[in-house]
Amino acid sequence: MLEKRKIEKRRKDEDLFKVVDSTLDPKTYVNLENIASRLDIETYLGSISSGKEAKIYPARTYDGKYYAVKIYYVSTASHKRAVERYTLGDQRFEKIKISNTRQLIYTWARKEFKNLKRMHEAGVRVPEPIYVYENILVMQFIGENGVRAPLLKELPDEEIDNNLYSDIISQLQLMVNKAKLVHGDLSEYNIMVYDGVYIIDVSQSVPIDHENAMDFLIRDINNVNRFFESKGLSIIDTEEILKTLEIPNREE
């Protein structure tokens, strides 16, 4: 009986990781197992994206719900540099004593979680953050049955219109005026379209009083404008959009 249960358990563990690739380190595997029990996850499915800093996996729960699981790579030099650049000058993170790269990555994951939370609470359409542990962030899955929604970049031209543009500008206004955050990497690659837009990838987002906030904000708006302009749509000038945003100590 005991033997049978063990075999059943083992079979279950194999199922849990069936399609997760072997590039993940052992510690990450253990963490994924713990997260699975905590969140009732039955299976982690194959990665849907390998970006510069992380991989994203859909996870299916026993009752058929999906989560998006973002697993940050634990060590790359460029990652380390980026973390240093963005967390310095961000008062919320200055107190954290960063001892090694792993800790930097954990800080990065926690930062994305906190930024998502702050935006979500302010009513910005971002994936709802569910859980963060070390280099793993669990959030609402944007898409259907484990199939992710398209990025703005991937949307067919006929679906790109002024409503979408206004939606994005509204999200930007909520982000700055309510959440008091600047995205810092906003573009057609970090906007998903699923019954309206979802803003994603907010690990680098900074408070509006951050020393680089204004530069990031202008770049974000320019990126969005450039994309919609390239589709032949009318846009609002960056200067006009800036006037609708509440930015501290802005020199006119």
185 in active site: yes
**Residue 52: which of ligand ATP, Mg ion, none does it interact with, CB under 5 to 8 A by kind?**
ligand ATP
Between CA 106 and CA 21 the distance in angstroms is 21
Stretch that binds ligand ATP, among 27-35, 97-105, 137-145, 167-175 (CB under 6 A): 137-145
Binding flag, residue 112, Mg ion (CB under 5 A) = no
> Which are the contacts of 246, defined by CB distance < 8 A and separation ≥ 6?
176, 177, 208
Stretch that binds ligand ATP, among 9-17, 52-60, 91-99, 174-182 (CB under 6 A): 52-60
Catalytic residue (choose from 21, 157, 167, 185): 185
Tell me how crowded residue 227 is: count the other CB atoms within 10 A of its CB.
Answer: 20
Between CA 72 and CA 29 the distance in angstroms is 13
Buried b / exposed e across 70-92, counting CB within 10 Å, b at 16+? Answer: bbbbbeeeebbebbeebbeebee
x-or-dash string of contact with Mg ion, 182-211, rule CB under 5 A: --------x----------x----------
Binding flag, residue 190, ligand ATP (CB under 6 A) = yes
Q: How far is the CB of 60 from ligand ATP (least distance, A)?
A: 13
Instruction: Name the residue nearer to ligand ATP (CB basis): 72 or 241.
Output: 72
Instruction: Name the residue nearer to Mg ion (CB basis): 190 or 205.
Output: 190
Q: Single out the residue of 156, 236, 224, 235 nearest to residue 190, CA to CA.
A: 224
Between CA 184 and CA 199 the distance in angstroms is 12
Q: How far is the CB of 50 from ligand ATP (least distance, A)?
A: 8
Kindly list the residues in this chain that would bind Mg ion in the complex (CB under 5 A): 190, 201
